[in-house]
C-alpha cells in the first residue's frame, strides 16, 4: 500500500475528528452540524491552512463513494409505504408541483441568466442548457434526515407533517432518477455523441439494469441482516456492499468501453436507493437495517461533509456568494409556486396553501452528493458549479429548519409545548375516576412504593381515605389540571368514559408531556384509533381476561410474578438516569443473582437483552426478582 496514501488518510482522519468537535460549537450557536463540518473542511483545505492539499483530494474519492452509498441507503429506508398511505393523494400532487415547477422554472430562468454566472458565460448554448438542467435537478432535492430530526424534536404529528415527510422522501428518490437521465444527456452533449433513438434506448436499458441490480442488492443485503453475528460486523458489511456497488459500476463502465466501444453507465445511487427501499418494504429486517444506518450515518456524514469542504475554494465561494443569494431566491420562488399548486390540486386545508413550501427549503446529503458527482464528471466547470450549489445549501440549512418549524406550529401539529416532566425522586401516579378498581389500583401501587392520587370528576361520590390522596375537579381542563399539579405525574391512568379518557389524554399529550398514559377502553369504536394516534396504552377489559388466562396456561410462573401473586417476587420498569451506567454492559453491572433483566426499551423499540447489551441514558429496563433486590437495582440505575 502506498505510504503517501496512508499519510493522507491519517491526516484527513485527524481533520475529520477535529471537524466534528468544531461543528459542535457551531451547533451551540444554532448553526446546522453540516455547516460546521463544511466550514472546518474549507479551513483545513488548500484555501486556508492547507492541511489537506488539493492534489490529495482525488486519493480520498473512495470515501465519497462510501458516503454516497450510505446516503442513498438512508434515503431509501425512509420511503416506508405503510406509513404514507393515508396521505397518498396530497403526497402525489405536492410531489408533482415541487418536482415539475421547481425543475422546469429554475432551469429556464438559469439558462437566461447565464451571462451573470461567470463560468457559464462563455459556454455554448447546448452546454448552458445542460448546466441549467443540472441546477434545476439539484434545486428539487430535499433533506429527509433534517426533516425527520425536526419532526422528532417537535413531536410533530398530523396530516401536514405526514405529507411533508412523504414528499421529502419521494422527491429524493425521483431526483436521483432525474439526475441520472440529465447526467447521461450531459455527457452525450458535451462529448459530442449522437442523442437520437438509440441513445434514449441505451439510457432506458441502463436505468432498467440499475433498477434490477437494486432489487438484487436488496436481496443480498438480507443475508448479513439475517445472520446471528455482531451488529458492528453487519454495519461493516453494509458499508462494503455500498462501496462494492460503486466499484462494480466503475468496472462495468471501463470494460464495456473496451469491449463495445460504448460505456454502459449504471447509476450506483439509484441501485443503493432501490436496494434500501426493498429491504424497508419487502423484508422483515427493516428495523434492524434502519438502526444500523443510524449507527453508521453520523461518522459517514462527518467524513463526507468535511471532505466536501476541503475540496472547495474559499476565494471562489466568496466570488459566487451574491450569485448564490440570487439563485437561493429563485429556488424559494419556485418552491412557493410548487407548494400552492400541490395544496390546491390535492384540495388540502386552505391554511396549508401559503405555507406548504416551507418544509422543503432544507437540503443536505443527497444534494451535496449529486453536486460532487457533477464536479468529478466535468472538472473544467464542475468545481465552480459545486461551489455555487454548496453556498446555496449552506443558506438553505440556515433558513430551512426555522421555516419548517414555523409551518408546523402554524398548522398546530407541534406537541412540544411542554417537555416530558423530569423525574423528581417520587413515583407519582394519578388515576382519573373514583370507583372500586381505581381504589384497588391505588392501594396496590401504594404497597409497591408509589404515591397514588385519585381524581374524582364532579358528580362522583367522595370517600374518606388515609392511604392515598383523593381530590376533586369540576371539569376536565388545563386549569383543573394545574390545581392538582398533574405536571408532576410519572404515570396517568384514565378509568372514566371513553370521551373523558380521550379529552384527558389529548390535553396531557398537547400541554403536559407525560409519556405514560394508560386508558381503560369502554368499547366506543370511534375513540380506539384516536387513542392509538396519541400513543396511549389501551387496556380492553373484554380481552384482558382472555389474555390473562392464556398467559396463565402457557407460562403460569411468569404470570404469577407479573401479577404480584408470588409475594416473594416483583417486576418493575426502571429508567436509566445514572450517568455512570451509560455505556456499561449488563454483564459488567453485577446485578444480584435473583434479579433478571427481561428487556430493554430504547426510543420506543424493545431490545432483546443479553450480557453484552450496553445500557444508555433514557433506556427503560424491565426487572424481575425479589422485592429487596429489585429495589436495590432500581436505586443503582436511577441515582
pLDDT at 337: 92
Residue 420 resides in a domain: no
The parent domain of residue 450 ranges over 428-539
Same domain for 517 and 448: yes
How many C-beta neighbours within 10 Å does residue 468 have? 18
User: What distance in Å separates the CA atoms of residue 33 and residue 398, rounded to the nearest whole number?
Assistant: 10
pLDDT beyond 80 at 401: no
pLDDT at 332: 92
Same domain for 447 and 353: no
Same domain for 221 and 355: yes
User: What distance in Å separates the CA atoms of residue 495 and residue 493, rounded to the nearest whole number?
Assistant: 7
Same domain for 213 and 175: yes
Same domain for 523 and 467: yes
Share of the chain above pLDDT 90, in %: 7
Kind of pairing between the strands at 620-626 and 595-602? antiparallel
pLDDT at 33: 67
How many C-beta neighbours within 10 Å does residue 467 have? 11
Last residue of a domain, one of 500, 520, 539: 539
At residue 610, the 3 state secondary structure works out as coil
Same domain for 531 and 449: yes
Most confident of 45-49, 142-146, 232-236, 292-296: 232-236
* Nearest CA among 173, 164, 174 for reference residue 357: 164
User: What distance in Å separates the CA atoms of residue 350 and residue 222, rounded to the nearest whole number?
Assistant: 44
Residue 179 resides in a domain: yes
Residue 416 resides in a domain: no
At residue 452, the 3 state secondary structure works out as strand
Residues 6+ away with beta carbon under 8 Å from 174: 95, 99, 140
What pairs with residue 298 in β-bridges? none
pLDDT beyond 90 at 546: no
How confident is the prediction for the chain on average, in pLDDT? 80
Residue 38 resides in a domain: no
Over residues 418-477, the pLDDT tens digits come to 444 555 567 788 999 888 888 888 888 888 778 898 888 865 555 666 678 888 888 888
pLDDT beyond 50 at 354: yes
Residue 501 resides in a domain: yes
Over residues 487-509, the pLDDT tens digits come to 888 889 998 888 888 889 888 88
- Does residue 261 come out as left (phi exceeding 0), alpha (psi in the -120 to 50 range) or beta? left
* Nearest CA among 391, 382, 400, 398 for reference residue 323: 391
pLDDT beyond 80 at 54: no
* Nearest CA among 371, 66, 375 for reference residue 245: 66
Over residues 564-574, the pLDDT tens digits come to 656 667 777 78
Kind of pairing between the strands at 569-575 and 620-626? antiparallel
In the chain, the largest separation of any two C-alpha atoms, in whole Å, equals: 94
Most confident of 236-240, 405-409, 535-539: 236-240
First to last CA, the chain: 51
Last residue of a domain, one of 484, 518, 539: 539
pLDDT at 86: 60
Residue 48 resides in a domain: no
User: What distance in Å separates the CA atoms of residue 180 and residue 172, rounded to the nearest whole number?
Assistant: 12
pLDDT at 418: 46
Same domain for 453 and 373: no
Burial of 198 (0-12, 13-18, 19+ CB in 10 A): exposed
pLDDT beyond 80 at 374: yes
Same domain for 402 and 460: no
Interval 379-387 mean pLDDT: 84
DSSP assignment of 189-251 equals: HHTT---SHHHHHHHHHHHHHHHHHHHHHHHHHHHHHHS-S-HHHHHHHHHHHHHHHHHHHHH
Which CATH number characterizes residue 316's domain?
A: 1.20.1530
Same domain for 502 and 579: no
Last residue of a domain, one of 411, 443, 465: 411
Residue 544 resides in a domain: no
Q: How many domains does the chain have?
A: 4
Same domain for 376 and 434: no
pLDDT at 217: 92
Interval 100-109 mean pLDDT: 91
- Does residue 132 come out as left (phi exceeding 0), alpha (psi in the -120 to 50 range) or beta? alpha
Same domain for 449 and 504: yes
At residue 520, the 3 state secondary structure works out as strand
Kind of pairing between the strands at 537-539 and 428-432? unpaired
- Give kind and range of the element (H or E) at residue 374: helix 365-377
Residue 197 resides in a domain: yes
Helices 268-282 and 197-226: angle between axes, nearest 10 degrees? 50
Which CATH number characterizes residue 581's domain?
A: 3.30.70.1450
Over residues 179-201, the pLDDT tens digits come to 888 887 887 777 666 555 676 78
Same domain for 251 and 118: yes
Query: How far are the Cα atoms of 425, 487, 506 from residue 512, in angstroms, in the given order?
Result: 18, 6, 10
pLDDT at 552: 66
Amino acid at each position: 500500500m502506498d505510504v503517501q496514501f496512508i499519510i493522507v488518510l491519517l491526516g484527513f482522519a485527524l481533520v475529520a475528528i477535529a471537524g466534528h468537535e468544531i461543528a459542535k460549537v457551531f451547533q451551540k450557536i444554532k448553526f446546522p452540524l453540516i455547516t460546521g463540518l463544511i466550514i472546518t473542511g474549507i479551513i483545513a483545505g488548500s484555501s486556508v491552512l492547507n492541511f489537506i492539499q488539493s492534489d490529495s483530494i482525488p486519493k480520498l474519492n473512495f470515501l465519497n463513494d462510501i458516503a454516497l452509498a450510505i446516503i442513498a441507503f438512508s434515503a431509501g429506508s425512509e420511503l416506508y409505504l405503510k406509513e404514507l398511505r393515508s396521505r397518498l393523494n396530497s403526497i402525489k400532487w405536492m410531489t408533482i408541483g415541487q418536482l415539475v415547477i421547481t425543475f422546469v422554472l429554475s432551469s429556464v430562468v438559469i439558462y437566461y441568466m447565464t451571462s451573470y454566472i461567470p463560468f457559464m458565460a462563455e459556454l455554448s448554448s447546448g452546454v448552458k442548457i445542460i448546466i441549467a438542467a443540472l441546477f434545476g435537478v439539484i434545486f428539487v432535492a430535499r433533506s429527509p434526515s433534517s426533516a425527520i430530526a425536526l419532526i422528532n424534536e417537535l413531536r410533530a404529528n398530523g396530516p401536514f407533517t405526514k405529507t411533508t415527510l412523504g414528499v421529502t422522501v419521494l422527491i429524493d428518490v425521483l431526483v436521483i432518477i432525474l439526475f441520472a437521465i440529465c447526467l447521461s444527456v450531459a455527457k452525450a452533449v458535451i462529448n459530442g455523441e449522437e442523442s437520437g433513438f438509440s441513445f434514449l434506448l441505451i439510457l432506458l436499458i441502463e436505468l432498467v439494469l440499475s433498477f434490477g441490480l437494486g432489487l438484487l442488492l436488496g436481496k443480498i443485503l438480507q443475508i448479513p441482516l439475517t445472520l446471528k453475528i455482531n451488529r458492528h460486523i453487519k454495519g461493516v458489511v453494509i458499508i462494503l456492499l455500498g462501496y462494492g456497488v460503486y466499484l462494480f459500476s466503475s468496472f462495468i463502465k471501463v470494460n464495456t468501453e473496451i469491449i463495445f466501444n460504448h460505456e454502459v453507465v449504471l447509476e450506483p445511487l439509484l441501485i443503493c436507493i432501490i436496494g434500501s427501499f426493498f429491504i424497508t418494504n419487502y423484508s422483515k429486517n427493516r428495523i434492524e437495517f434502519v438502526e444500523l444506518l443510524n449507527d453508521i450515518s453520523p461518522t459517514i456524514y462527518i467524513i463526507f461533509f468535511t471532505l466536501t469542504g476541503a475540496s472547495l475554494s474559499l476565494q471562489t465561494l466568496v466570488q459566487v456568494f451574491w450569485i448564490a443569494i440570487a439563485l437561493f431566491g429563485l429556488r424559494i420562488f419556485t418552491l412557493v409556486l410548487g407548494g400552492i399548486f400541490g395544496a390546491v390540486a390535492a384540495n388540502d386545508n386552505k391554511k396549508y396553501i401559503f405555507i406548504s413550501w416551507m418544509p422543503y427549503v432544507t437540503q443536505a446529503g443527497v444534494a451535496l452528493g449529486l453536486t460532487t458527482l457533477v464536479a468529478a464528471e466535468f472538472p473544467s466547470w464542475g468545481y465552480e458549479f459545486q461551489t455555487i450549489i454548496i453556498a446555496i445549501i449552506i443558506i438553505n440549512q440556515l433558513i430551512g429548519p426555522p421555516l419548517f418549524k414555523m409551518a408546523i406550529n402554524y398548522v398546530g401539529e407541534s406537541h412540544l409545548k411542554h417537555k416530558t416532566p423530569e423525574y423528581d425522586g417520587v413515583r407519582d401516579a394519578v388515576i382519573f375516576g373514583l370507583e372500586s378498581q381505581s381504589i384497588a389500583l391505588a392501594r396496590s401501587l401504594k404497597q409497591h412504593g408509589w404515591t397514588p392520587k385519585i381524581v374524582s370528576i364532579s358528580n362522583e361520590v367522595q370517600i374518606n381515605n388515609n392511604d392515598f390522596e383523593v381530590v376533586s375537579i369540576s371539569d376536565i381542563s388545563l386549569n383543573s389540571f394545574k390545581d392538582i399539579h398533574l405536571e408532576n405525574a410519572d404515570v396517568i391512568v384514565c378509568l372514566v368514559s371513553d370521551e373523558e379518557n380521550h379529552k384527558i389524554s389529548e390535553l396531557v399529550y398537547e400541554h403536559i408531556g407525560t409519556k405514560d398514559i394508560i386508558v381503560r377502553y369502554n368499547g366506543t369504536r370511534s375513540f380506539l384509533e384516536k387513542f392509538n394516534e396519541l400513543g396511549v396504552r389501551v387496556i380492553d377489559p373484554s380481552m384482558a381476561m382472555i389474555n390473562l388466562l392464556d398467559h396463565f396456561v402457557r407460562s403460569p410462573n411468569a404470570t404469577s410474578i407479573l401479577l404480584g401473586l408470588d409475594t416473594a417476587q416483583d417486576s418493575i420498569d426502571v429508567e436509566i438516569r445514572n450517568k455512570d451506567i451509560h455505556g456499561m454492559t449488563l454483564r459488567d453491572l453485577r446485578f444480584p443473582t435473583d434479579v433478571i433483566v427481561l428487556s430493554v426499551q430504547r426510543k420506543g423499540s424493545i431490545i432483546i437483552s443479553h450480557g453484552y447489551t450496553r445500557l444508555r441514558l433514557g433506556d427503560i429496563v424491565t426487572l424481575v426478582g425479589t422485592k429487596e433486590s429489585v429495589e436495590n437495582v432500581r436505586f443503582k440505575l436511577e441515582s
